[in-house]
Amino acid sequence: MGLAIGRAEEPKKETKEEPKKEEGKTQAKEENKTVNNNEVAVIKTTEGEMVVEFWPDVAPKTVENFKTLAQKGFYDGTAFHRIVKGFMIQGGDPLTKNPNEESSWGTGDPGYKIKAEFNDRSHQRGVISMARSQDPDSAGSQFFIMHGTNAGLDNKYTAFGKVTEGLDVVDKIATTQTDDRDRPVKPMTIKTITIDEK
């Protein structure tokens, strides 16, 4: 099955691939949970630590999904597998835990998909958003963090929070050497993602 690849304008270049995700088969069950806005995600990586505040007012189900996966340890040991300096860093694929699965990196998910919650939050530097395929409702676990600003992604991808501490870590990851497939030469690993009180 081929992966449909979208394009978005990137600063200083005419076009660049949008964060992408392979299309899936199932839909996540809708949950009626209230999202706690007093929590943050602490993303510990090989390059340092980032703190992400959530936006449950515009993407409550996406925030809840991310928190649930983080609390289960789903993201622990995954890697930022796609890095485009000045654009974004993409991670959250469980297949990146296994170097032997590299040809499939970018296609993994938690076994379900979630509905898009497109909103008016702009994809500015530090914003975290869900990666997906051409199907708007194809996000699962993969996410990307903006290194630059790209308004071409607004209302097309579900932005659900922003890095409030550790933008220097985003910079370190985004400026690491990559190959011709935007994969980092040196692994950029997510050690853990924990959900903590503000």
Tokens of 107: 């296609």
34 DSSP 8-state letter = P
Q: What is the pLDDT of residue 148?
A: 98
Mean pLDDT of 58-81: 98
pLDDT band at 198 (very low <50, low <70, confident <90, very high): confident
Could you give the percent of the chain with pLDDT greater than 90?
80
Least confident range from 7-11, 62-66, 141-145, 181-185: namely 7-11
Residue bearing the bigger pLDDT, 78 or 10: 78
Residue 8 pLDDT exceeds 70: no
Q: What is the pLDDT of residue 173?
A: 98
CA nearest to 80, candidates 149, 22, 129, 145: 145
Question: Number of C-alpha atoms within 13 angstroms, CB side, residue 122?
Answer: 6
Mean pLDDT of 165-178: 98
- What SS3 class is residue 50? strand
Tokens of 134: 């051409």
Report the predicted TM-score, pTM, of the whole model to 2 decimal places: 0.84
User: Could you read off the pLDDT of 77-97 as tens digits, one per residue?
Assistant: 999 999 999 999 999 999 999
CATH superfamily for domain 38-197: Cyclophilin-like (2.40.100.10)
